[in-house]
Amino acid sequence: MIGRLNHVAIAVPDLTAAAEQYRTALGAKVGAPQDEPDHGVTVIFIELPNTKIELLYPLGENSPINGFLEKNPAGGIHHICYEVDDILAARDQLLKTGARVLGTGEPKIGAHGKPVLFLHPKDFNGCLVELEQV
């Protein structure tokens, strides 16, 4: 069911410093910051040959990243995103196995303009898992 690892999202306390570090210390291809007001984040994509890293920084007071950075002031890996072909079929299969889908259970349009769902971390080894239909 799951396909490619679409991205690993890392919440960072200083977006400029994190981007510069990936550019300079790790020599990676680092994009420009993009505000995503619908998702309460500013994102910088790091393009690796086989997948992406998303640096996440809070945008606005109600950012979903605020709580994470309060608990993890140095930052940390926020979620991983797996691609699926059919997000509703994936959701229904997951619900059958007892996994919980966050929110209403209906896909939302994610930061890449595609339908996404998040799965409850307690059901997935403490990892917040995003599914994205590609």
Q: What is the torsion angle, in degrees rounded to the nearest 10, for the CA atoms of residue 81, residue 83, residue 32 and residue 78?
A: 0
Q: Note whether 4 binds a copy of itself by CB under 8 A.
A: yes
Q: Could you tell me the CA-to-CA distances from 30 to 34, 53, 72, 85, 111 in Å, in that order?
A: 12, 9, 23, 28, 17
For a copy of itself, the binding residues in 16-35 under the rule CB under 8 A are: 18, 21, 24-28
Q: Which of 16, 37, 67, 72 is close enough to bind a copy of itself by CB under 8 A? A: 72
Q: Which of 70, 103, 113, 126 is close enough to bind a copy of itself by CB under 8 A? A: 126
Q: How far is the CB of 94 from a copy of itself (least distance, A)?
A: 5
Q: Which of 16, 38, 50, 63 is close enough to bind a copy of itself by CB under 8 A? A: 50
Burial 61-79 (b: 16+ CB within 10 A, else e): eebebeebbeeeeebeebb
CA 107 to chain centre: 15
Residue ranges binding a copy of itself (CB under 8 A): 1-5, 8, 10-13, 18, 21, 24-28, 48-51, 53, 55, 72, 74-77, 80, 82, 93-94, 97, 99, 121-127
